[in-house]
Amino acid sequence: AEGDSPEALRTRVAGLLAAARARSTALTDAVDEADLVAQHSPLMSPLVWDLAHIGSQEELWLVRDVGGREPLRPEIDGLYDAFQHSRASRVTLPLLTPPEARTYVAEVRDKALDALHRSPLSGRRLERDGFAFGMIVQHEQQHDETMLATHQLRTGAPVLHAPAPPPGRTPSAREVYVPAGPFEMGTSVEPWALDNERPAHAVHVDAFWIDTAPVTNGAYAEFVDAGGYDDPRWWSAAGWRHRLDAGLSAPQFWERDGSGTWYRRRFGVLAPVVPDEPVVHVCFHEADAYARWAGRRLPTEAEWEKAARHDPATGRSRRYPWGDEEPTERHANLGQRHLQPAPVGAYPAGVSALGVHQLVGDVWEWLSSGFEAYPGYETFPYPEYSEVFFGGDYRMLRGGSFGTDPSAVRATFRNWDHPVRRQIFAGFRCARDAGPRDDRPLGDRPL
């Protein structure tokens, strides 16, 4: 944490790099070579591309920049540049084979650890507080979540297994009231926060109600069974067009048996849909349509972050909903410990100061906001992380999922994707406007 000596910081960074690599290894050792080079979906890279891309990014920042070393394999840079080749086309490139990719990432890692031991972890901004190392830990973990989504899309016998999450306990109130007022959004002090999370700035938010927990499978199935996918009233114009073009009729991976019971396929296993788990694998348009059907709307990004971080007792913003301490398994369903969302109410220790559950972990949450720079934003260290995406056709996602590592999600962490994407581990919760004096006790509100 902050105030670490350089030696303590080195030890912590080395542990995080090793943990990220253990996950990348587990995800890529779980399948055979044919599976590693296959295109499981045009939306995804072959797993072996992600693996070598992880190494390529690490080489660029830790070996060449921080370490000041010569390129290991300059001829492969272009293959692993995400901007040169679409995900759909990567399978056709002369990629490193799985054994070559494994050797490459191991060689890069050796040199990156050498750079870690030589860097003062202070001085220029890239090295200060170990930022470059933190950025690369997050990058590997982000691709590990992407690889987990590729695993979800692959067919064949199940290869990933994990224990079930803790049991749920339905929260006593369905919604939480958040009074009007300013809060501090973003951060200027979190050492490994990425450029788009900066700087901290005050934002006024009108009073609103927000769901205590993410929308569940049970609630979402009511929308499906009520004909929600067949009624354009609930859909935006773009959403309805997409609903027709893509033939959407239920969340991705859901199917019905002859008796009408819903099943879902998860990492190769078909099982009944569990009503009190957060719904996952819906796109922004589906979330938006559900919210309209329910007489509600999606939260804005500022509303989500206020619900997650604002402590009304002190007026300050927390690092995480539960406080400033790093996530543990008591706080949130993160880190691919459980390969599914936990039922609502499963993390009472993770509740925010305002009383909102499961903001971090379980499922990414779609929001109504697009991706924009905060006032005072500065690109650092490269424009292709955030800057080139500002103002594009994206919707924000917050909070991380069961597939997100704690190192790659904070209550300030910002994620975004196209509004039609649903192979990611995304669900949502709803909100609605409230009057400034609309704060009757929880439970008295009409649902």
- Residue 80: partners with Cβ closer than 8 Å, 6 or more residues away: 49, 52, 53, 55, 56, 57
Question: What's the Cα-to-Cα distance from 64 to each of 59, 67, 133, 147, 382, rounded to whole Å?
Answer: 6, 5, 13, 26, 15
Q: What are the structure tokens assigned to 339, written together?
A: 């390969």
CB atoms within 10 A of CB 142: 19
Cβ closer to ligand AVJ: 24 or 142?
142
Cβ closer to ligand AVJ: 45 or 358?
45
Cβ closer to ligand AVJ: 139 or 422?
139
Cβ closer to ligand AVJ: 43 or 207?
43
Minimum gap (Å) between residue 264 Cβ and ligand AVJ: 24
Minimum gap (Å) between residue 442 Cβ and ligand AVJ: 34
Q: Which residues bind ligand AVJ (CB under 6 A)?
A: 139, 142, 146, 385, 415-416
Cβ closer to ligand AVJ: 56 or 212?
56
Minimum gap (Å) between residue 182 Cβ and ligand AVJ: 27
Cβ closer to ligand AVJ: 142 or 358?
142
Minimum gap (Å) between residue 139 Cβ and ligand AVJ: 6
d(CA 64, CA 66): 6
Among candidates 435, 280, 277, 287, which has minimal Cα distance to 369?
287
- When CB distances to ligand AVJ are compared, the closest residue is 142
Cβ closer to ligand AVJ: 56 or 217?
56
Minimum gap (Å) between residue 444 Cβ and ligand AVJ: 40
Cα-based angle 340, 343, 346 (whole degrees, multiple of 5):
110
Minimum gap (Å) between residue 219 Cβ and ligand AVJ: 27
Minimum gap (Å) between residue 148 Cβ and ligand AVJ: 12
d(CA 74, CA 77): 6
Among candidates 328, 335, 409, 363, which has minimal Cα distance to 19?
335
d(CA 239, CA 400): 24
Cβ closer to ligand AVJ: 146 or 412?
146
Minimum gap (Å) between residue 81 Cβ and ligand AVJ: 11
Cβ closer to ligand AVJ: 187 or 415?
415
204: Cα separation from own chain's centroid:
25
Cβ closer to ligand AVJ: 130 or 403?
403
d(CA 347, CA 426): 18
Asked whether the bond before 199 is cis by omega within 30 degrees of 0, the reply is: yes
Terminal-residue alpha carbon distance, the chain:
42
CB atoms within 10 A of CB 367: 27
Cα-based angle 371, 377, 379 (whole degrees, multiple of 5):
90
Q: What are the structure tokens assigned to 100, written together?
A: 């070559």
Minimum gap (Å) between residue 55 Cβ and ligand AVJ: 13
Query: Which of 221-245 are b and which e, b meaning 16 or more Cβ less than 10 Å from the residue's Cβ?
Result: bebbeeebbeeeebbbeebbebbee
Are the CB atoms for 145 and 403 separated by under 8 Å? Answer: yes
Minimum gap (Å) between residue 354 Cβ and ligand AVJ: 26
